[in-house]
Amino acid sequence: MKINSGILILAVTGMFICPLTSIKGQLHDHSQISKNSESLARQHPDLCSVKSLVKTAGGKDIWVITIGTGTADSKPGVAVVGGVDGKYLAGRELALGFAEKILSNSSEKEIRELLSKVTFYVFPDVSPDASEQFFSGLKYERSLNTRTTDDDRDFMYDEDPGEDLNKDGFITLIRIKDPAGNYLESDEDKRVMATADISKGQTGNYLVYSEGTDNDKDGRYNEDGAGGVSFNRNFTYNYEEFGINSGLYPVSEAETRAVADFLYDHFNIFMVIAFGPQDNLGQPMKASDRTGAAQDQTQNQPPEEGMMRRQRGRITSILKTDEAVNKLVSDKYHEITGFKGAPQAISEPGNFMEWAYYHYGRYSFSTPGWWLTVEKGKSAEAAFLKFADKINLKDVFVPWTPIIHPDFPGKTVEVGGIKPFEALNPPADTLGELISAHYKFITSVSAMHPELEFLDVKVEDAGEKIFRLTLKIHNKGLLATNTEAGEPNIWTRVMRLSVEPSAGQTILSGLKVQRVQRLQGDENAEFSWLISGKGKVGISAGSLNVGQITTSIELK
């Protein structure tokens, strides 16, 4: 098995003398995240401000850390979002670590220049109710807030939670020896349970459930535990009505609504980088070749002057020019982090990453921040245990231990399995290097931001005090001035070009105010006017998400 993470090369090659520690330790609970976030504003008052957007159902703050110089909301912005799913604890550390690192390096010329052009909005943890489960006395992987819900639609609330039957502080698995079961010990690792494959002549001899009892006697285990609604299933794109943990309606939760409102209110944001289960950095999204309503065939044609934005049907795959950018950014991610391959694809209805691209209309990138490459057809659990053994990672598995279970009298029942959070998160010893790598990635990609400049300014004397003024607006950034998906989106600000004649001057030909079409990286658009009268002409161009440029041209 290939180890995908370049961050862990030292561990894999045996250069660590002591065993690596598991994910426990070096992680911040919500109280520590709050203190660290607020301390950043005190330490860097000229560059940083911190605000609580809302409190969750569990009474925890959703923090946003704003980082930049000058008037922050008037410059192109990047949102960095941690804790999209509470099980992926490392993402919280990567988001908070990015904020701490860019502020500590703010005296460097390169970073100071970046902060003068780009504002960062960092959300350390948008699922604090869920991630806090790691810091509780009973640990289990949780994605849900603490809103009370009837997950199994039986008119009872939170009545069938997991239970710690062996009193070790973890909710793992129970396996029951039963010839009617469809599980067996995996050939890859006897500690792992795998579904029997009839096509290979296999028959199961175990039942496997989450650790607990069938409290409501419906034949299912732990299907209605404490909470709740998942942040990453509560957004509008592909929202699943009556879906598991999706909420009563899209954006029903205080935290999803607060984050969405903040992003919608900040028209200057051009890119969202999220840490969660979805991934388009390890494996970029692919555009569909299918024609029809999903992708308007006129999408690459610029609108005529004065026309409103074109309308188009619902899109269900990334659009062509956005695909090229996703590939560029993905290549940069692999180059900087040293990661190999891509994590296993996880598709969730109503997830944040897809909403940020399809509905919010911004460049949207997401990564779990760490993963193991698993060969096709192989067990992810077995791959993790092999990895843990190879690098001497201790205390990640609960050995199968016999118990007496009230729901299975007379049967052999055992508790065991991989401990919660371990397989989804990196060894804590590697977090520092992971933070450094992702800091470098985020700053590098942010430096690709769209940026306008005037080129080839020409003034021609047409006689009779009439002048022809011609210029080009050039996007010198690598990213387009907005995504192709965001082109018809009312939440994407239109770039405008304005001409301000001096007293006594008259525009004879050309518009005083006009729209500038979407410009891809290193693309330009040319404009021309006939103006009567000598003197200075002021010209400005741009929008919140690309910034404003101005110039003054003398007609003489």
pLDDT digits (tens, 9 = 90+) for 6-28: 434 333 333 333 444 555 567 99
Residue length of the chain: 556
Report DSSP state, residue 343: P
Is residue 153 predicted with pLDDT exceeding 80?
Answer: no
Q: Give CA–CA dist 164/162, Å, rounded.
A: 7
Beta-carbon contacts of 347 under 8 Å, excluding residues fewer than 6 positions away, are: 278
CATH 2.60.40.10 fits domain 452-555: yes
Q: What pLDDT sits at residue 379?
A: 92
Q: What pLDDT sits at residue 288?
A: 86
Q: What pLDDT sits at residue 376?
A: 86
Is residue 94 predicted with pLDDT exceeding 90?
Answer: yes
Q: What pLDDT sits at residue 18?
A: 42
For a pLDDT cut of 70, what percent of the chain falls above it?
87
Element (H, E) at 92: helix 89-104
Out of 112-121, 210-219, 488-497, pick the least confident.
210-219
Average pLDDT over residues 284-290: 86
Q: Encoding tokens for residue 462?
A: 């047409």
Q: Encoding tokens for residue 218?
A: 């419906």
Q: What pLDDT sits at residue 290?
A: 62
Average pLDDT over residues 370-391: 93
Is residue 53 predicted with pLDDT exceeding 80?
Answer: yes
Is residue 294 predicted with pLDDT exceeding 90?
Answer: no
- Closest-CA residue to 547 (of 479, 482, 452): 452
| Start-to-end C-alpha separation, the chain | 72
Average pLDDT over residues 328-345: 93
Between 515 and 152, the higher pLDDT residue: 515
Q: Which CATH superfamily is domain 6-134+227-299+315-370+426-446 in?
A: Zn peptidases (3.40.630.10)
Return the percent helix, strand and coil in the chain, to nearest 5.
25, 25, 50
- Which amino acid, one-letter code, is at 47? L
Average pLDDT over residues 108-130: 97
Q: Given CA atoms 193, 194, 195, 197 in this order, what sign does their dihedral have?
A: negative
Beta-carbon contacts of 446 under 8 Å, excluding residues fewer than 6 positions away, are: 78, 114, 118, 120, 271
Q: Give CA–CA dist 129/231, Å, rounded.
A: 10
Domain definitions of the chain by residue range: 6-134+227-299+315-370+426-446, 150-225+394-424, 452-555
Average pLDDT over residues 128-153: 85
Average of per-residue pLDDT values in the chain: 89
pLDDT digits (tens, 9 = 90+) for 165-204: 999 999 999 999 999 999 999 999 999 999 999 999 999 9
Q: Encoding tokens for residue 240?
A: 């699943």
Q: What is the largest CA-CA distance in the chain?
A: 106
Q: What pLDDT sits at residue 149?
A: 63
pLDDT digits (tens, 9 = 90+) for 500-539: 999 999 999 999 999 999 999 999 999 999 999 999 999 9
Strands (E), 245-351: 269-275
pLDDT digits (tens, 9 = 90+) for 195-232: 999 999 999 999 999 998 876 556 665 555 566 899 99
C-alpha separations of 294 from 255, 286, 291, 319 in Å:
31, 14, 7, 10
Q: How many CB atoms lie within 10 A of CB 301?
A: 10
109-117 vs 431-446: helix axis angle to the nearest 10? 60
Is residue 4 predicted with pLDDT exceeding 60?
Answer: no
- Per CATH, 6-134+227-299+315-370+426-446 and 452-555 having the same topology is answered no
Element (H, E) at 381: helix 380-390
Average pLDDT over residues 440-454: 97
Instruction: Report pTM.
Output: 0.90
The model's confidence at residue 306, banded by pLDDT at 50, 70 and 90, is very low
Q: Rg of the Cα trace of the chain?
A: 27
